[in-house]
Structure 1
Amino acid sequence: MGKVALFVLMACMMIASSHAKATLTCEQTTIYLTPCIPYGMLGGSVSPLCCQGIHSINAAYKNGDDRRVACHCIQDTAAKIPLIDYTRINQIGELCGSKCPFKVYPSTDCNKVK
């Protein structure tokens, strides 16, 4: 029984440490990028608030863990939004004059984002 408890404890520590490096949360990502949803659904022009969010999220990335968290969050949120256009989503960074470190599609493997 002691070996099982030790194994479970070690597994929990490994899981916790693998997420400890990320400083950006999904909640923060959602707050930054919510103003971009209308453009992702309807097109038109990208709002200044959306561009401010894009610049803020790019400034918040401290490492690959942050980018992977954001990728998963964007991917999960976009999948819940009807009529979302992934081509438009992936154009927002460029339209706001900011490079995006990854592209998000339903097929994107966010675990491979560097």
Structure 2
Amino acid sequence: MSKVVLISVMMACMLISSSYGKATLTCEQVTVWLTPCIPYGTLGGSVLPLCCQGVHSLNAAYKNGDDRRLTCHCVQDRAALIPLIDYTRINQIGDLCGSKCPFKVYPSTDCDKVK
């Protein structure tokens, strides 16, 4: 893994999570589950099995819309910190892992409108 990716992961892990209404998830949980997806999101290649495990764990953990909105904000905020992030690849991960994502993440995504 490149130094840029490692530094980005460390920065993402150090951020303080935000609170969203009745969310049962935390941004830290989302970050832990999705960190294995960063290499694919920046470099392409194959999606790591740990990435797909994280995607499945995240989708199983959603309890309400607040969880989905928190996740959207978290992914959006973390992705903005990662140099060379490819949003097209990021949005392919759910399909590649056989798990639907309830929203698409781009810098312009209005996460407050996620249902």
Q: TM-score, normalised by structure 1?
A: 0.83
Matched, 1:30 2:42: no
1:109 Cα deviation after fit = 0.2
Match in the other structure for 1:12: none
Match in the other structure for 1:5: none
Match in the other structure for 2:86: 85
5+ residue gaps, structure 1: 1-15
Instruction: Give distance in 1, aligned partners of 2:25 and 2:104.
Output: 18
1:28 Cα deviation after fit = 0.4
1:44 Cα deviation after fit = 0.2
Match in the other structure for 1:107: 108
1:22 Cα deviation after fit = 0.5
Deviations 1:24-57 (A, max 9, x none): 1100000000000000000000000000000000
5+ residue gaps, structure 2: 1-18
Using the aligned pairs only, state the percent identity.
82
Instruction: Give distance in 2, aligned partners of 1:71 and 1:64.
Output: 10
| Partner SS for 1:91 | helix
1:101 Cα deviation after fit = 0.3
Deviations 1:74-100 (A, max 9, x none): 000000000000000000000000000
RMSD between aligned residues:
1.1
Match in the other structure for 2:61: 60
Relative to its length, the structure with more helix (as a share) is: 1
Instruction: Give distance in 1, aligned partners of 2:25 and 2:96.
Output: 23
Please identify runs of 4+ aligned residues in structure 1 that moved more than 3 A.
none
Instruction: Give distance in 1, aligned partners of 2:97 and 2:72.
Output: 18
Which structure has the larger Rg over C-alpha atoms? 1
Match in the other structure for 1:73: 74
